[in-house]
Structure 1
């Protein structure tokens, strides 16, 4: 049973171009019982920055590796931090300017307060190294712009 409109819309879009089985999961992938090596492609769009500490990051990436089928891949787009404090401060300031342009100073402050409370973005390099350390064979940085990046990895057979 599909429990939300977003999943219903996703199901309908996929069914329009796919005659195979479509399985919908609603929940935190870290706790869902999902089949090991059951997925050719895993997409993580703006979700991993919600992970907490380094142990949570490692556990999540290990599960992603386990879920990925041999020859499969994972592709991530997400909010990222920066390793060097001056670079991080500059990029965060630019992101703040962008947020202010969307909804004013109050909106910017609200977003940053939420990030401080709920999120723990990590640098791209941290995540690429983590993908390698859990077992992915080929790691690719597709794009990085300010506080956002797109990257992924392939699991060889």
Structure 2
């Protein structure tokens, strides 16, 4: 396996990329259907929790998801967690005027920062879980997210996924996603994205994650959307 980036290296890359992650009109363009999934997840949260009170966004970036959510539900408290201080500062700046609730920022890794258990109606985890490493890391992270939720709370995920079959993975990732990245800019950009994914990320398949969510205790899970190597899904406690 290629030696993976450290948390510090990941933090430093995101520190330099705040403006790209602050665009509500496009979302993150290297992800497929980014804007559609943002709307789908925030619409879903608003539909399930019309009286939403407590939201936790792990790996919040510049805050697109809670900002989008605040256009529909405007009185929730929100805890924002991220490795990057510039991202947190931007997320706080954008969100604090949109909700009448409290906005708190916490710099650090969601796996290790102190968060109160049984406290959140909703946890948002978008483009963050692919940074997890081995199976033990995945299991411990999902167990922690389960413990943080209130009974009836839910975890909303949108992320990069892989296919378990090698030939299908090659077709979907290297051919189709590669073509998508090339069309965004050019082949050198495709190679740049592939390179930092190889060095930073250790994604798992959608099936792996759905099964693990049930294993750690979630009552049921549901797939919202999947296109090639990106998927959005939800799990209820």
The answer to whether TM tops 0.5 is: yes
Q: 2:201: which partner in 1?
A: 119
**1:130 is the counterpart of 2:212:** yes
Q: 1:54: which partner in 2?
A: 135
Q: 2:233: which partner in 1?
A: 151
The alignment covers a number of residue pairs equal to: 153
1:6-85 equivalence runs, <5 A: 6-85=87-166
Query: Which structure is richer in relative contact order (CA contacts within 8 A, separation 6 or more)?
Result: 1
**1:142 is the counterpart of 2:224:** yes
Alpha-carbon distance in structure 2 between the residues aligned to 1:6 and 1:115: 20
Alpha-carbon distance in structure 2 between the residues aligned to 1:46 and 1:122: 12
Alpha-carbon distance in structure 2 between the residues aligned to 1:130 and 1:32: 22
Q: 2:177 aligns with which of 95, 109, 115?
A: 95
How far has the Cα of 1:87 moved from its partner?
A: 1.5
The secondary structure found in structure 1 opposite 2:204 is: coil
What stretches of structure 2 of length at least 5 have no aligned partner?
A: 1-83
The secondary structure found in structure 1 opposite 2:139 is: helix
The secondary structure found in structure 2 opposite 1:23 is: strand
Alpha-carbon distance in structure 2 between the residues aligned to 1:152 and 1:11: 25
Q: Which moved more, 1:4-13 or 1:118-127?
A: 4-13
How far has the Cα of 1:25 moved from its partner?
A: 1.5
Alpha-carbon distance in structure 1 between the residues aligned to 2:179 and 2:100: 45
The secondary structure found in structure 1 opposite 2:222 is: strand
TM (norm. structure 2) is 0.61
The secondary structure found in structure 2 opposite 1:16 is: coil
What stretches of structure 1 of length at least 5 have no aligned partner?
A: none
Q: Any idea what the Cα deviations from partners look like across 1:68-120, whole Å, max 9, x if unmatched?
A: 11111000000000112222111111111111122311111121122222211
Q: Which moved more, 1:36-45 or 1:6-15?
A: 6-15
Q: Which moved more, 1:64-73 or 1:15-24?
A: 15-24
* Cα RMSD, aligned residues only: 1.5
- Classify 1:149/1:22 alpha carbon distance in 2 versus 1 (closer, same or farther; 3 Å): same
Alpha-carbon distance in structure 1 between the residues aligned to 2:98 and 2:194: 39
Q: Any idea what the Cα deviations from partners look like across 1:115-137, whole Å, max 9, x if unmatched?
A: 22221111101000011000000
